[in-house]
Structure 1
Amino acid sequence: MKTDLDVVILVLTLLIFGCPVPAIVMAFKIDERTVADWIDKAGEHAQRVQEHQVCQGQLDLGQVQADEIWCRSQRGVLWLATAMSVASRLLIWGKVASGRTDEMIAEVVQHVHRAARLQSPILWATDGFATWKGQILRFFRAAVHTGRRGRPRLVEWAELHIVQVVKRTYGERIERRLAFGDLFEALHLIEVTQGKRGTVNTAFVERLNATLRTWLPALTRRSRHAGSLEQRLERHFFLTVAAYNFIRPHRSLRVQVDGRWVERTPGMAAGLTDHPWTVEELLGFRVPPPHNAA
């Protein structure tokens, strides 16, 4: 790159935490196309880091909350589906699509499945969008080997539970229901991840989406900074995800160590890192090549 590294890091830091591109262009006298190219490159790298660090099948996720939000782009409405672990506040995966499609939900659920420890207890909390339940039951299955010839039968995880929060448009009514699994075990996972006052809700992922709208101007519903391309918005999203998971500590995750409070990132709470990263550490993180790479 033809620009000093310190300038690149400063510009990307501002972009991660919500500074609009026109402000960057005016302040640093950098061409808008150059800024867009930096977002593409850094976002693609951040997506690889997210997949390598999070989606390795080693996490006891406990309760996972999932939701979808929409935003306006220069080419129509775009949808973003996200899923997070409540206990660690870890944003596991997200997907941007031009519609609220089965494929969008399937990619998010598939990556959560890859991140989850095999057959570990897991509770999904979603809204009333029926596709979530269908895709969860599709991916969270395991083969039952009987010793007979042929393909083994697939059955849902024994410790899989799904609850739904359906918000009615009339009377401010909220319906909470068990869609799959055991109600007693679901309530137990809620108590473990939310505390004794916890209840069936999607409040944590909704709070996450509010944070994303603050950090990503294109996600703001009433904004003049509409997203231009689906792919670029997704790459900017993953750059923000990396900062959310590994760079910025969360006050709700702080713990007391040797008489002093230590603030942690979701990555630290999930046991993926031992310290908050810097933007420079994120950009310099070396993702190992796939095992099947030549």
Structure 2
Amino acid sequence: MNKLPIAKRVQILSMLCEGSSMRSVSRVCDVSINTVAKLLADAGTFCLAFHDERVRNLTSKRVQCDEIWSFVYAKNKNVVEAKAPPKGAGDVWTWTALDADSKLICSWAVGQRDAYWAAAFLDDLKQRLTTRVQLTSDGHKAYLTAVEDVFGNTDIDFAQLVKIYGDVPKRMGADAAERKYSPPECIGAKKTPIVGSPDPDHISTSYVERQNLTMRMSMKRFTRLSNAFSKKLASHRHAISLYFTFYNWTRIHKTLRVTPAMAAGLTDHLWTMEEIIGLMDEAAPKPGRPKQYRKRIAA
């Protein structure tokens, strides 16, 4: 089986994590788009297992949760009229839980913004923690039931931060069509303790929201007001899985001056993309003769 040199694979995966589209990666690296797609699928599958195995026994004290919107194939309003939309087409949300101290992405999930996915997401987060944490989310109501079902009323300090937005500021000469691309002004925030005794000074979602902005800038399929988007839900999950491994293990955080994994005590050194690919190769099935061929030889 032909395999790209490790330097070429490092280049492709690094470009995908730095905001390049798959077709631009294909052109710059001089490989086919199918090669890029196959490598992304392999890397995403491996990184999902890598995160599940390595991000465990966390001693986090403060965790912030948020959701970020994107879509697969077409937006919800356009799926009905789309031609042969694949399974999973439409709006999709990425749930993220970030350690406020180490900036580590503790848990993530890709699904809908409903009670089922809120519970699944928080259940995965709980399994990775070894300590009682202060959890802060936005005002999404699905968290209320999910936190109670997963953590109960005694094992967590939970609060919600609800931001209050004003009208879009009118710029001189700007009409409504232009102002729709301007973000509304945040004029305040309401801190609401829900369970336990959360520290009011640490009721915040600023860090996770900033990370979501970094994620939006680091994957072309998340870029707003462009023609870049995921064609399949599986590819969307693969890209996110690769990005979070890159973010946690190989990207130095500007404030911490180490990677989030190092800050969280999960590793003692800066990982490189070469190391990730090396583990991918070790975990990959070893090439061999097809089973049917071996059966014919034995007969």
Give the TM interval when normalised to the shorter protein.
0.7 to 0.9
Report the counterpart of residue 242 of structure 1 in structure 2. 245
Deviation at 1:199, TM superposition (A): 4.2
Q: How many angstroms apart in 1 are the aligned matches of 2:120 and 2:106?
A: 11
Say which SS state the counterpart of residue 254 (structure 2) adopts.
strand
Q: How many angstroms apart in 2 are the aligned matches of 1:221 and 1:162?
A: 32
Does the CA contact (< 8 Å) of 1:126 and 1:202 recur in 2? yes
> Where do residues 185-204 of structure 1 align in structure 2 (5 Å cutoff)?
186-187=198-199, 198-204=201-207
Does the CA contact (< 8 Å) of 2:11 and 2:29 recur in 1? no
Q: Alpha-carbon deviations, 1:224-259, whole Å to 9, x = none?
A: 211111221111101010011010111221xxxxxx
Q: How many angstroms apart in 1 are the aligned matches of 2:255 and 2:24?
A: 31
Q: How many angstroms apart in 2 are the aligned matches of 1:17 and 1:107?
A: 29
Report the counterpart of residue 263 of structure 2 in structure 1. 269
Q: TM-score, normalised by structure 1?
A: 0.79
Q: How many angstroms apart in 2 are the aligned matches of 1:19 and 1:105?
A: 30
Say which SS state the counterpart of residue 23 (structure 1) adopts.
helix
Q: How many angstroms apart in 1 are the aligned matches of 2:50 and 2:42?
A: 13
1:157 alignment partner, one of 154, 157, 173: 154
1:278 alignment partner, one of 268, 272, 276: 272
Say which SS state the counterpart of residue 255 (structure 2) adopts.
strand
Q: How many angstroms apart in 2 are the aligned matches of 1:270 and 1:115?
A: 13
Which has more radius of gyration? Answer: 2
Report the counterpart of residue 231 of structure 1 in structure 2. 234
> Where do residues 10-49 of structure 1 align in structure 2 (5 Å cutoff)?
10-49=11-50
Report the counterpart of residue 176 of structure 1 in structure 2. 191
How big is the alpha-carbon RMSD for the aligned residues of Structure 1 and Structure 2? 1.9
Q: Alpha-carbon deviations, 1:80-106, whole Å to 9, x = none?
A: 111111111000121122x31223222
Does the CA contact (< 8 Å) of 2:115 and 2:145 recur in 1? no
Residues 2 and 285 of structure 1: CA distance in aligned 2, closer, same or farther (over 3 Å)? closer
Deviation at 1:157, TM superposition (A): 3.4
Q: Alpha-carbon deviations, 1:107-148, whole Å to 9, x = none?
A: 32112101100xx2211100111111221221224xxxxxxx
Residue 78 of structure 1 aligns with an amino acid whose one-letter code is: V
Say which SS state the counterpart of residue 224 (structure 1) adopts.
coil
Q: How many angstroms apart in 2 are the aligned matches of 1:81 and 1:44?
A: 18
Q: How many angstroms apart in 2 are the aligned matches of 1:132 and 1:231?
A: 26
Q: Structure 1 unaligned runs (5+)?
A: 142-155, 191-197, 254-262, 289-294
Report the counterpart of residue 69 of structure 2 in structure 1. 70
**Number of aligned residues:** 247
Q: Alpha-carbon deviations, 1:165-212, whole Å to 9, x = none?
A: 112344734211101112xxx21xx7xxxxxxx442210000010010
Does the CA contact (< 8 Å) of 1:73 and 1:218 recur in 2? no
Residue 69 of structure 1 aligns with an amino acid whose one-letter code is: I
Is 1:92 the counterpart of 2:106? The answer is: yes
Deviation at 1:281, TM superposition (A): 0.8
Identity among equivalent pairs (%) = 26
Deviation at 1:284, TM superposition (A): 2.3
Residue 109 of structure 2 aligns with an amino acid whose one-letter code is: K
1:134 alignment partner, one of 145, 150, 158: 145
Report the counterpart of residue 136 of structure 2 in structure 1. 125
User: Which is strand-richer, 1 or 2?
Assistant: 1
Residue 211 of structure 2 aligns with an amino acid whose one-letter code is: L
Q: Structure 2 unaligned runs (5+)?
A: 76-90, 168-186, 284-299
Residue 72 of structure 2 aligns with an amino acid whose one-letter code is: S
Q: Alpha-carbon deviations, 1:271-292, whole Å to 9, x = none?
A: 100011000111223799xxxx
Say which SS state the counterpart of residue 264 (structure 1) adopts.
coil
Deviation at 1:22, TM superposition (A): 1.5
Q: Alpha-carbon deviations, 1:41-81, whole Å to 9, x = none?
A: 10110111111111x3x212111100111123323222111
Q: How many angstroms apart in 2 are the aligned matches of 1:269 and 1:48?
A: 21
Report the counterpart of residue 114 of structure 1 in structure 2. 127
Q: How many angstroms apart in 1 are the aligned matches of 2:275 and 2:154?
A: 37
Residue 59 of structure 1 aligns with an amino acid whose one-letter code is: L
Residues 74 and 83 of structure 1: CA distance in aligned 2, closer, same or farther (over 3 Å)? same
Say which SS state the counterpart of residue 81 (structure 1) adopts.
strand
Q: How many angstroms apart in 2 are the aligned matches of 1:216 and 1:106?
A: 26
Report the counterpart of residue 225 of structure 2 in structure 1. 222
Residue 143 of structure 2 aligns with an amino acid whose one-letter code is: W
Report the counterpart of residue 144 of structure 1 in structure 2. none
Q: How many angstroms apart in 2 are the aligned matches of 1:93 and 1:221?
A: 24
Does the CA contact (< 8 Å) of 2:104 and 2:248 recur in 1? yes
Deviation at 1:265, TM superposition (A): 0.7
Say which SS state the counterpart of residue 89 (structure 1) adopts.
coil
